[in-house]
Structure 1
Amino acid sequence: MNHRIHWRNAAVATFIIVALFLAVTAPFTSLPLSAQTAITVDPPTPAISVAPGGTNQTLITVTNNNIPGAVDRTFTLAFSNIPTGIQIAPSGSTFIAVGSSQQISVGAAVANTVAPGVYTIAGIITGTAAGQTNVTQSIFLQLTVTGATFTPTPTTTATPRPATVTPTRGPVCRDGFEDDNSPATAKVIDVDTSQERAICPAGDVDWLVFGGVEGKVYTIDVASQSPGLDLSLELFDANLNSIAFNDDFFNRTPGSPNPGDTRPRITIRIPADGRYYIRVRDVAGRGGVDFLYVIALLSGSYGPTPTLVTDVCLDLFEPDGLPEQARLITSNELQENRALCPDGDADWVTFFGKTGKRYIMYTDTRRYIGRTRVNQDTQAGADTVMVLTDRDGVSVIDINDDIPGGNSLDSQIEFIPEVDGFYFVQIKNVGDVGNQFIRYDLVLLLCLPGQTDCGRTTITGLPINPLTPVPTGTPDREFVLDQPTATPTNTATPVP
């Protein structure tokens, strides 16, 4: 009997020891990463300049952020949709511990046949670790192919061409203002005149220069552009500091905005006498002999147009005015306190969509309504428009102005991808109206399978009060912005 008890106790002890051993040696799986960014890339838009037939490289810094759920990972960089004649060679795998940074080199080789221009090439940085879900971050390589620098090797014997043979020539990419691809070669545009120009070849950039008078208001306007072009305007001072930018200007007819009008316009009061440079380019890098546009420089008066203060308009996500500058938003992330400022401002984000998953992205201005409600849950001046594009950042998939069935001027788009990839979303304000007070939150929801209450109109718990404390009580008097002037009082005058 005692032997049987002894063997039973031994079996129980052995079972406990084996269970503890398995628990200790089992692979550890950390909690999933939160919606914070797991990877930081600096710069997010690296640039390389290469002459046809040449090579060059640059370095980017990748940081494995120390956030909840982060682990040591091995990172690799890969590029897709690389144009013919261009080779991009990122370095191999790089191990980066949590909270550490490493540099990754990116090399580019360009064949002699590649046309000069600016090429935007999308890349994905992927971090992997055993037993962990991969983390990714997108980058956009700006590859500038400069003018040809190679010289053809002469033949030893010149062979005369038969008189009957006529040499063939390809399209000539000259509009009468070339070469004007840099500030140093910018061509003058006179006030109250217009010029017809061409964006040719693909990736072409045009630079113009004019003399500005301090305090005077100027309008730079693309009056017309050929189908297929989507131009942007950027204005620089004499030191090539960017002082104004616009992609699309919808409100050319006040009171009747046209979201389909992608012609840009800049109106600005010049801060000081001097030379000012205008850069014109297609946002998608397109171009050709038939890609024509007309640009005009118009002078105004010394009227009430306010001086542009750029810093007031910068939120934490700027610059994000172009698809290649789009900021990453992850599933179930809330990006707070975004601003639509100045007039014509556009905010771009990109997210990774998984085939068959259901995503809902929406804007939310309720937190910034202010002390007085004017029109239900709507912030004064805010009427966002959301545009969802395909992975090329150009092809439109869906557009929404106001949330369907909602009591709000916020916008919302529901999307189920048919192909895995990074998709792009643009947010603008109706009429291109913008100022530092028009703020909003941006949310990307990944809905659960079968979930029916997924969307902006069902979100509860978000604070709808202004971010700054509101004074209580009744104000003693109205605050007047104008300077006080001497005004006779109503004090009674003694009668003699």
Structure 2
Amino acid sequence: NEILLDTPQNHNIHVPGDHDWIFFMATAGATYVIETSQLGGEMDTIIYLYDEDGEELAQNDDGGEESLASRITWDVNSTGILYVMIRTYWDDGAGPDMQYSISVSEGTPYEADAHEPDDTMDQASEIEIGSRQSHNLHVTGDHDWISFQVVIGTDYVIETSNLGDRIDTIVSLYDAAGHFVTSDDDGGDEELASRLTWTPQEDGVVYVLVRDLGDDEAGPGTEFGVSVREEATVLLVADEYEPDDTMAEAGEIGMGEAQTHTIHTEGDHDWLSFEAVQGTTYLIETSNLGQEVDTVVFLYDDHGEELAQDDDGADEPRASRITWTAEETGTVHILVHDYKDNRAQPGMQYDISVRELEAGGDETRVHDYSGNWFESPLP
């Protein structure tokens, strides 16, 4: 049966092994969401997507919002007919509680990560030893490939981390000729993350494929990081506020809040933002610096105009402090980076905080956000 966009159809499994087929006209460049819903008490759907030649494009079991429902998100490359087959997971039941609804809608594309296209070995993005890349599954069945140079006899660790709540990674290693070498599913430290430790027998390029175990997830919650390092090296871990490397990626910091950040890559810049109120004076400072970091802090308005900066103005050695009064209400942005801005190593963590100041006669007082003001050592 043909199904129209945004027009759900109600089906049921009336005999064991019943398979329901629908089709719709797809337009090149569009993204479509095919999903089941309103499942009967005994129903567990699985759906398959096929092109006009009968080639399977994607499948999904339990990716829908509703328990046991299914969802496929698909970006269409060429205009034509697409077919969908729906069946019960066990494919052997039938009866009054085996009904479901199926719908097709045009969705908003989930933004692909910066390394796309990397869907084949030939498109693999190169990763530097000792670094991490951030990826996501932007369409159902998305496969992400990376490559790196290896040296004979060196032990390498390939692992995934920072997994979203809808992904279970599996990592597979291939040699330069495309021959499978080894794989891992859940060997990482993090739940459902993967880790391979491998020693090459010759110099050359190797390839890594990272995908979802079920190969049927896409969209928010499918983010993951993948890293490659020599086993003897220490991989610096990004803090929880990454990515925050540009003004556009600035994370919000609340009044009285202290956030812990790290310089995890050479040239790492950490951006934050807060809402300033006209006439209010703010104290922005770094503290609890690791032994290897020397912070520099800059303050910008929402147009990117520099308002203030400081290197070593805080009481703590190598820490920074800005005291600034807002001339107008609006968003302001903070940039923090290491003074040398060309290194990353253990001991490069720091805290950053923003607080309001209140003029109090001959002294300056800082709000502690528990209803009190206390005297500040500021002049």
| Fold equivalence (TM over 0.5) | no
TM bucket (normalised to shorter chain) is 0.3 to 0.5
Larger RCO (alpha carbons 8 Å, 6+ apart): 2
More strand by share: 2
More helix by share: 1
User: What TM-score, normalized to structure 1?
Assistant: 0.30
